[in-house]
Amino acid sequence: MSEVYKTAVESYNTKIIKIWKHKFKHAQENQKIKRIQPLLPLLHFEQAYSPIWFLGMNPSVYKEKDTRLMNCWDITRSKIDKIHKNQREAHQGHQYFIKLKEFFQNDEFLGRKDQCPVFHDIYPVRHTSQIEFTKFLESARDLKEEFNHATKILLENGGAKVIVIFNSKASEFLKKIFEINDKPLDTFSIFDDITFIYSSMYTGQRALDNYAKIRLAREIKKVIKNRGL
């Protein structure tokens, strides 16, 4: 399964690099709000394979000096190495990853010790304001569709079985990506061999409180048990 995941990651990253050069450059130069900066993209950082994935909307800028270059459209090998170096540091030091790993491993929540989920963001554009970023996506529909398709293929081919989306807007977008027509307040969906679980942000200003985290953990554990994972 790890080889399947590895192949899916390589295919996804190749597609994102092409999108970045041919689609994102044009969308960024023609945006109306003039806030989305030409930083390096977020490629999928290959992690230890897990059938359980945690998804976000798009990454905030962790260390801008490592992502802002004079020419960010031509993604060379050295730039890919820089992207992955930045991601390794973020996975170790950013509160988003630290708190979600605790949620995954600690007994009071999922209790899957010595394991980690696979982390992925639906859109590989580094920008901190979700409101601004959503406006940008709506102004660049062809770019958005390219990103949607890339993530859909990665999730389908990368071995994901249970996917938890920690962002209500990302949940809304993902339902459209997979053409899921559940009731708006349903907390999970099943699409082919993948179970999607919808949640709000785990950290940050609109984060879940402790009671909501416990309830979410119970639902995830139930799904995992039913899936035999």
DSSP summary character for residue 48: -
What does the chain come to in residues?
229
For the chain, the first-to-last Cα distance in angstroms comes to 14
pLDDT reading at 36 higher than 90: no
Residues 146 and 186: their CA atoms lie apart, in Å, by 27
Query: Which band of pLDDT confidence, cut at 50, 70 and 90, is reported for residue 29?
Result: confident
222 neighbors 115 (Cβ within 8 angstroms): no
Identify the pLDDT of residue 35.
Answer: 81
Sheet holding 118-121, edge to edge: 118-121, 52-56, 162-166, 194-199, 188-191
Q: 75 lies in which domain range?
A: 2-227
Identify the pLDDT of residue 159.
Answer: 94
Between 4-18, 70-84, 144-158, 187-201, the lowest mean confidence (pLDDT) is in 70-84
Residues 18 and 75: their CA atoms lie apart, in Å, by 9
On average, the pLDDT of the chain sits at 90
110 neighbors 221 (Cβ within 8 angstroms): yes
Strands (E), the chain: 52-56, 118-121, 162-166, 188-191, 194-199
What mean pLDDT is predicted for residues 94-113? 94
Residues 149 and 31: their CA atoms lie apart, in Å, by 22
Give residue for tokens 């992955």. 84
Which domain CATH number covers 140? 3.40.470.10
Q: Count how many domains the chain has.
A: 1
Identify the pLDDT of residue 201.
Answer: 87
